[in-house]
Amino acid sequence: MRILNPIRSAAIAFFCLPLAASALAADATDSGKALHDKHCSACHVRLFGGDGNKVYTRSPRLIGNPAALKQRVAACSAQTGAKLFPDEEEKIAAYLTQQFYKFK
């Protein structure tokens, strides 16, 4: 059995980490969309018409940063009785950030 040089192992890990993070982010965004479609869309369509996405694109925007978005998602979950877990709320916020808000 060959043992890898520790520096080489660290370099491999360093270069693979962004790939893993990217895959995890894509998974969170995909599952966030599914959660959004299941728990959020119907209420937004009822309130804003169309596909409900106007809530995210209206002017002026009411949500200005990631913390405010997470707070809003949690409040909506509580108001609607969706009973989302915190990790599900995070996934919805990640999807909304990627799709609409583009926070850095």
Average pLDDT over residues 68-95: 96
Q: Which amino acid is at 59?
A: S
pTM of the model: 0.72
Per-residue confidence (pLDDT) for residue 23, from 0 to 100: 47
By the 8 A CB rule, do 93 and 32 touch? yes
Q: Which residue has the tokens 């915190």?
A: 86
* pLDDT one-digit tens code per residue, 2-21: 666 667 665 665 565 555 44
